[in-house]
Amino acid sequence: MESSPWTLDKLFLEQLQPLLAMVSLGYSVSLLVCDAHHCGVQEQIQGLVQKVIESVFKESNSSSNNAQFLKTISFVQICSDGEAQDLLSPQSQALTVMDLPPLGLVVEEATEIIVTDSQAATHFYRCGVSVYQSHFQQSFQKPHNATCGILFTITIETKVAEGQGLQRATVQIFEFLGANEQPYNDLFLPLSWASSAVPLPPEAGFLPWILKRLLENNTLTFLLLCLTLPDASGEEILSAISLIEQVRTVIKRVAPTHWDPSQEAQKRRAAIRELRAQLFLSDQTEQGRIIIQLKKVIKELQVLKSQNWEKKKEKPAGEIKEGDTSLVARISPAQQEALLWQREKALLTLRMETLQREQAEAVKDLEELYQECQHEVFQAFKKHTEEQMDALERQYRNLLKESLGDAIILSAHNQQLRAEKQLSFTETATQTDFQTLTHNDKSHSTT
């Protein structure tokens, strides 16, 4: 698609907003944004994400009905080599991405911040994008074959009724930004692998695994492929269309997510006890496999325990501060200075956005002038072409007229020749008959 603001606004209203309206009913939504050429559409994508955030909070607030809500956001960078970094706590260590039923795709130990409105969520999103662009692209520079993406997650949990657990809905926005050095076909290859019905090949890497989870898990999935049309060849456009058709073949059943943290924790504890028993009774060849499973279940239990509401609201944990509009994880003087810098940068960003809007208006005027010039050139070309066609038509008519005249003259000449030939034949026949008659008369006289 062409990444213009008008196109994105129309796309949001007609296609994406109806899906986001389902979030208040407990449905989860995954938005996959793939920028094919990684050029010139980041601002439009950020504007689209802001609209998504505003719509999600508007729908959840309108359907609250005095229910108890907990809304949190997290933001991480993910690379195809399996490394993830926390964009809301840049100094943290590398994180682990997990597929944890029934929660879906989660990032272990990622900073979660409680937010109450879309303004705060948008602020953290823009701060995370700023951190990603200014810091991680330099400090965590990857090889050209390690495509980067950023995952912004909004989680809305609602207490259903006493003893009935929680209703959980997530909106996960995965911006698959790619790399400038990477060939176009390689850029789409992870999505092609992820949307295929066959298992991932061994060389697929980590990124296709994440995309496959987002495509196949219990979420309403929306894929947005951004193509810069002046830079996209016909082959690239056909490849994108083919990929979209392949994604549409992914069939799944989506339902609201209801879960009980205590019950899920009990299931993991029971699995841990069973695996430990198997570990003591198994031989050496089986112990390696059981240890791997045991580590996985223990990690799942730790993540489930971190999803407790009370733990998320605990200030001494140093991870979350409700209603605050600043990052509070691991506060230090250096970080306080960094946060002040980020706020100043936010003001500068607003000024920059104003200048960018003015620039956009100037560009629009230039485009209109360019289109007018194009129209004049087209009209002149059209007039010249029409004149050439008229001249050719007159030339063809004259040739046709001359050809018809020559044909008429040639036909008359042929008729004249046939008439003369017929007359000559008649005279010859008459003379022959006369000679024969004369000879017969002489013969009779002699007799």
Query: Do both 148 and 243 map to the same domain?
Result: yes
Query: Do both 119 and 24 map to the same domain?
Result: yes
Cβ atoms of 36 and 225 closer than 8 Å:
yes
- Give residue 435's pLDDT: 66
- Give residue 207's pLDDT: 81
Separation CA 35–CA 53 (nearest Å) = 20
Separation CA 344–CA 329 (nearest Å) = 20
Nearest to 74 by CA among 88, 60, 53: 88
Separation CA 182–CA 178 (nearest Å) = 7
Residue 426 included in any domain: no
Query: Do both 254 and 359 map to the same domain?
Result: no
Query: Do both 18 and 102 map to the same domain?
Result: yes
Say which residues have a Cβ less than 8 Å from residue 219's Cβ, sequence separation at least 6. 27, 28, 29, 30, 104, 170, 172, 254
The last residue of a domain, from among 203, 235, 258: 258
Residue 275 included in any domain: no
**Residue 237 class from Cβ within 10 Å (0-12 exposed, 13-18 middle, 19+ buried)?**
middle
- Give residue 322's pLDDT: 38
Say which residues have a Cβ less than 8 Å from residue 118's Cβ, sequence separation at least 6. 53, 54, 56, 57, 58
Query: Do both 203 and 56 map to the same domain?
Result: yes
Gyration radius from the chain CA atoms: 40
pTM above 0.75, yes or no: no
- Give residue 376's pLDDT: 67
- Give residue 143's pLDDT: 47
Residue 61 included in any domain: yes
- Give residue 154's pLDDT: 95
Cβ atoms of 74 and 115 closer than 8 Å:
no
Query: Do both 194 and 343 map to the same domain?
Result: no
- Total count of domains within the chain: 2
At 69, is the secondary structure helix, strand, or coil? Answer: strand
Residue 96 included in any domain: yes
Residue 245 included in any domain: yes
Residue 49 included in any domain: yes
Query: Do both 24 and 126 map to the same domain?
Result: yes
Query: Do both 89 and 173 map to the same domain?
Result: yes
208: cis peptide before it, omega within 30°?
no
- Give residue 178's pLDDT: 47
Residue 417 included in any domain: no
Query: Do both 45 and 184 map to the same domain?
Result: yes
- The CATH code of the domain that includes 80 is 3.40.850.10
Domain that residue 199 falls in: 5-258
Residue 428 included in any domain: no
The pLDDT tens digits along the chain (447 residues) read 444 555 778 888 888 889 898 998 889 999 998 876 555 577 888 888 999 999 999 887 766 566 788 899 999 988 777 778 888 886 667 888 888 988 988 988 888 888 888 898 999 998 888 888 776 555 445 444 455 688 999 999 988 776 678 889 999 999 876 444 444 345 677 788 888 888 888 777 788 888 888 888 899 999 888 777 766 667 777 777 887 888 888 888 899 998 888 889 889 989 888 888 887 777 777 888 888 888 888 888 888 888 877 777 654 343 333 334 344 444 445 555 555 566 566 556 656 766 676 677 667 767 766 776 666 677 777 778 888 888 888 888 888 888 888 888 888 888 888 888 888 777 776 766 666 666 666 665 555
Query: Do both 236 and 118 map to the same domain?
Result: yes
- Give residue 153's pLDDT: 95
Query: Do both 53 and 192 map to the same domain?
Result: yes
Query: Do both 246 and 343 map to the same domain?
Result: no
